[in-house]
């Protein structure tokens, strides 16, 4: 299979059929755009026709696939095969059963599921180029994605910078891609953690991670200082508690995984290798009993900041103090 999105292999000739398969919409859109760009190298006047499953009318595909009176290259892009009505599937199978017209290309996008399976099998059987658009969900996946974005732009970014960027804007892949592009466009030289924090240090996620890092280090004074500053500039306690919960879960997962290479443990627990390394460094200050207390403290804070308590700010401060109090540096 051809690699995903902007990692698509350069081929001298685009085959008549291209299948973009996978749930990540950003990567799927890039794969379609890349295919169209390839075709326009040899066909500058390429006509691009986009059909969407939800609005499809029977016979529409056949009409567009018919040879034009004046000739010319065409690329028909069929979106959302996984939602395709029977009429669209029937028309696709009919088109695939005939010899392709010269300079006509069909690109089919399928997110996931079994709907349209016969069309998928027929496309593959006809020698379609298959481009994967896999889900990018875990922090490991997002870290690899961001690092690839910088490599693709021929820019050097430190590992710390990539990690900081994922922590700051990693919830949404489009936002992460846009953030990478902004740093590429607006900066020169090596992109390091300082540059990332200059642009994204005010993000809620970044603020929450700094509070969590201080808390997991057992530094109550720094954690409270960061927390109170965040609250003062309008950050809601809910996402801060969410980041605290995430950090505790990571420690528990990595601690339970035992020894082994970081890459192997990362695959097992669904984290990036750098997160495993970071968790292992932090784990030195925590016993199993102390982590159990942290789990309970975070659960209580989560309930309180979401309406179960009278004072959300007090709830998250109490959580931070409770957690810090169980760190080894404060038990000596």
Tens digits of residue pLDDT in 262-305: 989 988 888 888 888 989 999 999 999 999 999 999 999 999 99
Stretch 65-80: mean pLDDT: 86
Does position 71 have pLDDT exceeding 90, yes or no?
no
Helix (H) or strand (E) holding 77, with range, is: strand 74-79
In a 13 Å sphere around the CA of 225, the CA atoms on its Cβ side amount to 6
pLDDT in tens, 171-189: 789 999 999 999 999 999 9
308 alpha carbon, distance to own chain's centre: 32
Helix (H) or strand (E) holding 137, with range, is: none
Query: What are the Cα distances from residue 261, in Å, to 87, 265, 284, 288, 305?
Result: 52, 6, 17, 21, 38
User: Residue 109's closest CA among 196, 20, 185?
Assistant: 20
* Average pLDDT value for the chain: 89
Give SS3 for 136. Answer: coil
Burial of 273 (0-12, 13-18, 19+ CB in 10 A): middle
**Confidence bin at 329 (pLDDT 50/70/90):** confident
User: Residue 53's closest CA among 92, 21, 20, 19?
Assistant: 92
* Residues 6 or more apart whose Cβ sits within 8 Å of residue 96: 17, 106, 119, 122, 123, 126
Of all residues in the chain, what percent carry a pLDDT higher than 70?
A: 94
More confident residue, 155 or 232: 155
- Phi/psi region, residue 144 (left: phi>0; alpha: psi -120 to 50; beta: rest), is alpha
């Amino acid at each position: 299979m051809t690699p995903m999105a902007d990692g698509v292999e350069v081929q001298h000739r685009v085959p008549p059929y291209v299948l973009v398969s996978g749930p990540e919409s950003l990567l799927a859109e890039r794969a379609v755009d890349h295919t169209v760009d390839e075709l326009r190298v040899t066909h500058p006047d390429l006509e691009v026709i986009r059909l969407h499953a939800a609005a499809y009318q029977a016979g529409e595909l056949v009409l567009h696939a018919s040879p034009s009176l004046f000739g010319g290259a065409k690329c028909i892009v069929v979106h959302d095969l996984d939602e395709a009505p029977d009429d669209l599937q029937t028309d696709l199978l009919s088109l695939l059963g005939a010899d392709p017209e010269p300079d006509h290309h069909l690109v089919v996008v399928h997110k996931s599921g079994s709907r349209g399976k016969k069309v998928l099998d027929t496309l593959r059987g006809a020698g379609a180029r298959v481009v994967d658009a896999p889900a990018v969900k875990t922090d490991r996946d997002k870290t690899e994605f961001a690092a690839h974005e910088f490599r693709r732009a021929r820019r050097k970014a430190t590992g710390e910078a990539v990690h900081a960027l994922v922590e700051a804007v990693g919830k949404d892949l489009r936002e992460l891609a846009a953030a990478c592009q902004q740093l590429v466009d607006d900066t020169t030289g090596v992109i390091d953690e300082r540059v990332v924090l200059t642009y994204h240090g005010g993000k809620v996620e970044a603020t929450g991670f700094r509070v969590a890092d201080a808390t997991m280090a057992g530094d109550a004074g720094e954690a409270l200082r960061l927390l109170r500053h965040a609250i003062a500039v309008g950050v809601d306690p809910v996402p801060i508690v969410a980041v605290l919960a995430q950090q505790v879960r990571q420690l528990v997962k990595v601690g339970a995984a035992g020894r082994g290479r970081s890459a192997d443990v990362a695959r097992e627990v669904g984290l990036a290798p750098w997160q495993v390394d970071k968790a292992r460094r932090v784990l030195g200050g925590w016993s199993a009993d102390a982590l159990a207390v942290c789990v309970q403290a975070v659960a209580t804070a989560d309930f309180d900041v979401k309406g179960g308590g009278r004072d959300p700010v007090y709830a998250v401060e109490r959580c931070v103090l409770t957690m810090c109090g169980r760190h080894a540096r404060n038990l000596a």
